[in-house]
Amino acid sequence: MSTPELADHIQIVLMDPSPRSHGRDYGVLSQRKWRVGSQEAKLALIRAGIGWGRLPLWLIEQDLVEERLVQLSAAALGENGTTKSWVYLARRLDKPLLPAARCLRSALLTGAGLGDTAGLR
C-alpha cells in the first residue's frame, strides 16, 4: 500500500495530553484522523474497521494470527510495515542497580529479545 493510499483513509491517532506536543503530529500520514485517548480505544476502532493506525506488536499479535487484523506494508510505515524504537537505560556505573531498576533492565532486555543478558552493563 502506498502512502497516498493510506492518506485516503482515516488514521486513528493516540493523543498526547502533554503540552510539549500540543499542535504537533508525529507519524500522522492522513489528513483524515480520529484522535483517541487510549491504546484500548484505538485498538477497538481499528478492529471495528473505522480506520488504520500503528499499534505495538504485543497488543495485536493474536489479532494478526487469527486474521482479525492485517499488517500494512508501506514504505512510510517502516521496513515491512514496522517501526523500530530505541530504548536506553542510563545509570551510574559506580552504584549498583536497585531492585526496581534491575526489574526494568530485565524487562527491556527481554522485550528486545536479548533475554536477561548478565554481561551487559
pLDDT tens-digit map of 33-59: 999 999 999 999 999 999 999 898 889
C-alpha cell of 3? 502512502
CB 97 within 8 A of CB 29: no
Q: Please check the confidence at residue 117 and state whether its pLDDT lies above 70.
A: no
The share of the chain scoring above pLDDT 90, in percent, equals 40
18 vs 63, more confident: 63
Q: What is the distance in angstroms between the CA of the first residue and the CA of the last residue of the chain?
A: 42
More confident residue, 12 or 25: 12
What pLDDT, on the 0 to 100 scale, is given for residue 116? 60
Question: What H or E segment, with its residue span, contains residue 36?
Answer: strand 33-36
- pLDDT-based confidence at residue 13 (cuts at 50, 70, 90): very high
CA distance linking residue 121 with residue 119, whole number of Å: 6
Q: How many CB atoms lie under 10 A from the CB of residue 52? A: 21
pLDDT (tens digit, 9 = 90+) per residue, 80-104?
767 777 778 888 899 999 999 999 9
Whether this prediction's pTM lies above 0.85 is answered by no
